[in-house]
């Protein structure tokens, strides 16, 4: 193989494929085109052509270095969905053409107590989808890009017929609220759930709450979101947290404020 300069490709170049993404290079919040490379598909890997990627506020925190751990350039994006274009020889859960998703992690040590208990997200060696160091020492880049190569264990299957664009937010916002709602027993009818903040996480919490059969009250700083909360998402009540009268009335009633 030769590179663009007609020189022989290095062993490193041979092991990698070109990729394109959008990268933050400083705290400005501006992303610009970025060419980089991803590892070639290994025997346990799937390669996914990215079709959609959600925007989580954590992406914005990272882009702007608000957690003070950003190493630029950063390609954000950890609500990734796309179509499988290549599978390694040992992959058995995916075939070419399947829809697949990737969330906030792309690897972990796979041998510690946490990994053995399926709590890879608690593994001290977990590798995040971007702004992390991969097993081969390279930097991970996220889903605001054209493709991703990931161990099959960290890819999730999208059932046939599930719209991939709508499924993307489940990969971070969705699981972040679903997991505690399940764990703390919100998944039985008759509960009354308060959702504070109608953003990425909040809007899926409302949808899960309603699907579980709960009464859901949205508590928001934004009066303009009332219609979306009640009419589109099905919330039973909507409180403006900046309105002392609404908050006091709700407190006195102990019941959801009328929509
Ligand atoms: N695993 C984890 O720990 C995860 C953590 N996160 C974190 O959760 C947070 C929310 O993420 P996401 O839902 O994507 O963010 P969004 O920006 O989409 O939503 C946040 C919502 O919070 C409300 N809000 C904003 N500012 C204030 C304020 N000053 N006081 C009170 N409420 C406010 C707004 O809702 P409204 O207008 O209704 O008030 C806003 O829409 C982020 O910090 C993100 O990094 C996200 C994913 C996973
Ligand atoms: O240390 C791990 C943090 C992970 C993380 C991933 C995604 C996301 O939205 C977060 O807020 C945190």
Where along the chain do its domains lie?
11-168, 175-253
Q: Fold match between 11-168 and 175-253?
A: no
Beta partners for 107?
Answer: 127
Q: Are 216 and 206 in contact (CB under 8 A)?
A: yes
C-alpha of residue 193 to centroid of ligand 1, in Å: 17
What 3-state DSSP class applies to 242? coil
- The finding on whether 123 has its CB within 6 A of some atom of ligand 2 is no
- The finding on whether 172 has its CB within 6 A of some atom of ligand 2 is yes
Beta partners for 145?
Answer: 21
Using the Cα atoms of residue 52, residue 133, residue 34 and residue 26 in order, give the sign of their dihedral. Answer: positive
Q: How far is CA 15 from CA 7, 8, 48, 258, in A?
A: 16, 13, 17, 60
- Place 253 in a pLDDT band, splitting at 50, 70 and 90: low
Position 13 scores a pLDDT of 72
- The finding on whether 204 has its CB within 6 A of some atom of ligand 1 is no
- Place 1 in a pLDDT band, splitting at 50, 70 and 90: very low
Q: What share of the chain is helix, strand, coil (3-state, %, to 5)?
A: 30, 30, 45
Name the closest ligand to CA 202.
1
Of 158, 213, 220, 166, give the one whose Cα is nearest residue 187: 213
Bigger pLDDT: 1 vs 114: 114
Q: Which token pair is 115? A: 């990994």
The set of residues, in sequence order, having a beta carbon less than 8 Å from that of 69 and lying 6+ positions away, is: 131
| For range 217-221, the mean pLDDT | 97
For atom 10 of ligand 1, the residue with the nearest CA is 57
- The finding on whether 61 has its CB within 6 A of some atom of ligand 1 is yes
User: What's the mean pLDDT when you consider all of the chain?
Assistant: 93
Q: CATH number of the domain at 11-168, please? A: 3.90.180.10
Position 249 scores a pLDDT of 80
Length of the chain: 259
| For range 102-126, the mean pLDDT | 97
Q: Are 239 and 246 in contact (CB under 8 A)?
A: yes
Bigger pLDDT: 13 vs 93: 93
- Place 3 in a pLDDT band, splitting at 50, 70 and 90: very low
With b meaning 16 or more CB within 10 Å and e meaning fewer, what string describes 43-54? eebbbbebebbb
Domain 175-253 class in CATH:
alpha beta
How far apart CA 74 and CA 62 sit, in angstroms, is 8
Asked whether residue 123 carries a pLDDT value surpassing 80, the answer given is: yes
| For range 231-235, the mean pLDDT | 97
Percent of residues, the chain, with pLDDT higher than 90: 87
Q: What is the pLDDT of residues 72-101, one digit of tens each?
A: 999 999 999 999 999 999 999 999 999 999
How far apart CA 201 and CA 56 sit, in angstroms, is 8
Q: What is the pLDDT of residues 14-41, one digit of tens each?
A: 789 999 999 999 999 999 999 999 999 9
Asked whether residue 210 carries a pLDDT value surpassing 90, the answer given is: yes
Q: Are 210 and 195 in contact (CB under 8 A)?
A: no
How far apart CA 13 and CA 225 sit, in angstroms, is 50
Position 56 scores a pLDDT of 98
């Amino acid at each position: 193989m030769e590179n663009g300069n007609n020189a022989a490709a290095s062993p490193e170049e041979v092991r990698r494929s070109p990729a394109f993404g959008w990268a933050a290079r400083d705290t400005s919040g501006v992303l610009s085109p970025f060419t980089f490379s991803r590892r070639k598909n290994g025997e346990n890997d799937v390669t996914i052509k990215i079709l959609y990627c959600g925007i989580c506020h954590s992406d914005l925190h990272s882009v702007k270095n608000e957690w003070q751990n950003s190493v630029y350039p950063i390609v954000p994006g950890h609500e990734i969905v796309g179509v499988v274009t290549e599978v390694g020889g040992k992959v058995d859960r995916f075939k070419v053409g399947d829809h697949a998703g990737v969330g906030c992690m792309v690897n972990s040590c796979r041998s510690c107590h946490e990994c053995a208990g399926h709590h890879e997200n608690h593994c001290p060696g977990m590798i995040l989808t971007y702004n992390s160091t991969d097993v081969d020492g390279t930097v991970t880049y996220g889903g605001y890009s054209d493709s991703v190569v990931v161990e099959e264990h960290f890819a999730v299957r999208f059932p046939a017929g599930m719209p991939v664009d709508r499924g993307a937010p489940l990969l971070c916002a969705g699981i972040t609220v679903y997991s505690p709602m399940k764990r703390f027993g919100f998944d039985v009818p008759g509960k009354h759930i308060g959702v504070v903040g109608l953003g990425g996480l909040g809007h899926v919490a409302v949808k899960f709450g309603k699907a579980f059969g709960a009464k859901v009250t949205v508590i928001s700083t934004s009066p303009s979101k009332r219609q979306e909360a009640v009419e589109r998402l099905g919330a039973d009540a909507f409180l403006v947290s900046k309105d002392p009268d609404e908050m006091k009335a709700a407190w006195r009633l102990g019941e959801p404020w009328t929509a």
